[in-house]
Structure 1
Amino acid sequence: MLQPPPIVLSFAANDPSGGAGLQADILTIASMGCHPLSIITAITVQDTAGVEDVMPLDSEWVADQARAVLEDMPVHVFKIGLLGSVEIIAAIAEIISDYPHIPLVMDPILTSGRGDELANEEMIDAMRELLLPQVTILTPNSLEARHLAQQENDANEVKLDLSLCAQRLLHMGCEYVLITGTHENSAHVLNTLFSVDGVMRTDEWERLENTYHGSGCTLASAIAASLANGLSVSESVIEAQDYTWHTLQAGFRPGMGQYIPNRLFWAKEIEDTENENENENEEPIIEKPKN
């Protein structure tokens, strides 16, 4: 019998546009050679431009979905995306606590790319208190990192240093924090991985001209898949960044909003290579001379 692929379980919301959420997670995890399990936390009304509405599921339904598959299959990595409510956060935190040996990758989704609020302050407090202490690697963008790390005595007009944000998030219990720099005013995108010992690595990527729907979901899911495939945290971070950058480079714009990462970009590359090889092996056409 063939050995089954590593299994990644994702808690996230449904995205009917296929750009972000569970659809992004499933495509990414499968594209990287793992089997995705999908636990729906919420149903959204959204397109490539933004999120119009979110309907969180009952927290017991979320828990029951997860318990059913966890009792049936061996999960190698957990991945968390949009959560929907404080009750769902509490339910997931309880489930995760029963599996402390399974790494947890968390993409702390607070707003949509357009700026639609997807987590209120009560939910953010619950994330800090219940989930961050269990997180293996947190993957906020710079805006999310500053929001999650903000304290009451911080001056509102002062932009928090990202290294300080990382140290605060690590102090909340995360083992590692990868802060992405897509929202920073820099010529290139700088992504920095932190641990309690400081900066582990900083990776520089060409800044692409478009904006993308689901890039954060793609990165976090790619890290989860890489961990499930047996790579270390540092190796998973660089592998996932490389994969994500290529999905963005090959991205497409199916609607009137943002571009969508092409998580199957490699399939087109294989097809193009095969076509080139076929053309090279074709017998040249020799025309018969005319009398």
Structure 2
Amino acid sequence: MSQPPPTVLSFAASDSTGGAGIQADILTLASMGCHPLSVITAITIQDTAGVDDVMALDPEWVADQARAVLEDMPVNVFKIGMLGSVEIIASIAEVISDYPNIPLVLDPVLASGRGDELANDEMVMAMRELLLPQATIITPNSLEARRLAQDDDDDDDDDNPNLSQCAGRLLSLGCEYVLITGTHENTSQVINSLYGSAGVVRSDKWQRLTGSYHGSGCTLASAIAAGLANGLSIAEGVYEAQEYTWQSLKAGFRPGMGQHLPDRLFWARDESDIGNDKDDAKGGD
């Protein structure tokens, strides 16, 4: 019998387009040599343009999905994406607290690429209090980092705080590392910075590709989880995940009338198989 691949257990919502959510996680993890395990947190009605509605599952069902898998096979890494409700956040936090030695990659999905809100203020607070303290690394974009790091006493007019300060606040909540992605910043290149307790661990610059993408954040977080499951360090895993994500965006395609989707199997295709619009890509959400 062959040696089993490393396993990653993803908690995420279902996205029927295959662009984001649990489908994106499964594609990314499998593409990077892992066996994906999945726990569905919510069902969405969406297309490549945006999210129209979300139905969160019963939190007991979410927990039972996870415990059934965890009691049956070893898990190398947890990955968390869109959650659906405060009760689901609490349920997942309780489950993963029983496995403190399993690394946790948290992608705090707060809105869709179109701007549809996917987490209200109560959910943001629950993430801060229950999940961030258990996270090995969180992967917010700059907008999500500012919202997560905002204190109740912050000046509402200060909507563009320093990202280093945001990272410091998030680290103070208990997570080990924070990777803030710069797609939404007004810079000529996309700058992604990884922060740890001692400051910046690494900062990487990537060509800013035009257009917008559905599921780039899910791809990046899942790729980091795959790297950790395959034995890479945080710094190595973050770089390799960025490279993988950028290549998947560059080779992406537009199957519908909305955003492009990353091609997470770009490495398996010949150049001639990749669409002519592959250079119209940019990390979107």
Superposition pairs for residues 1-291 of structure 1, below 5 Å? 1-158=1-158, 159-269=160-270
Q: What letter is aligned with 2:19?
A: G
CA distance in 2, matches of 1:62, 1:156: 35
How many residues align? The count is 272
Structure 1 or 2, whichever has the larger Rg, is: 1
SS of alignment partner, residue 129 of structure 2: helix
The Cα offsets for residues 232-255 of structure 1, whole Å up to 9 and x where unpaired, read as 000000000000000000000000
The runs of 4+ residues in structure 1 deviating greater than 2 Å are 269-272
CA distance in 2, matches of 1:107, 1:269: 31
SS of alignment partner, residue 126 of structure 1: helix
CA distance in 1, matches of 2:248, 2:49: 19
CA distance in 2, matches of 1:144, 1:235: 23
Of 1-10 and 149-158, the range deviating more from structure 2: 149-158
Q: 1:194 to 1:68 in 2, by over 3 A?
A: same
Seq. identity, %: 74
CA distance in 2, matches of 1:154, 1:119: 20
The Cα offsets for residues 104-138 of structure 1, whole Å up to 9 and x where unpaired, read as 00000000000001000111111000000000000
CA distance in 1, matches of 2:52, 2:222: 24
Structure 1's unaligned 5+ residue stretches are 273-291
SS of alignment partner, residue 111 of structure 1: coil
The Cα offsets for residues 185-220 of structure 1, whole Å up to 9 and x where unpaired, read as 000000000001000000000000010000000000
SS of alignment partner, residue 192 of structure 1: strand
SS of alignment partner, residue 205 of structure 1: strand
Structure 2's unaligned 5+ residue stretches are 274-285
Partner of 1:279: none
Q: CA RMSD in A?
A: 1.0
CA distance in 2, matches of 1:18, 1:153: 39
TM-score in terms of structure 1 length: 0.92
Q: 1:156 Cα deviation (Å)?
A: 1.8
SS of alignment partner, residue 40 of structure 1: strand
CA distance in 1, matches of 2:67, 2:271: 38
Q: What letter is aligned with 1:33?
A: G
Q: 1:269 Cα deviation (Å)?
A: 3.5
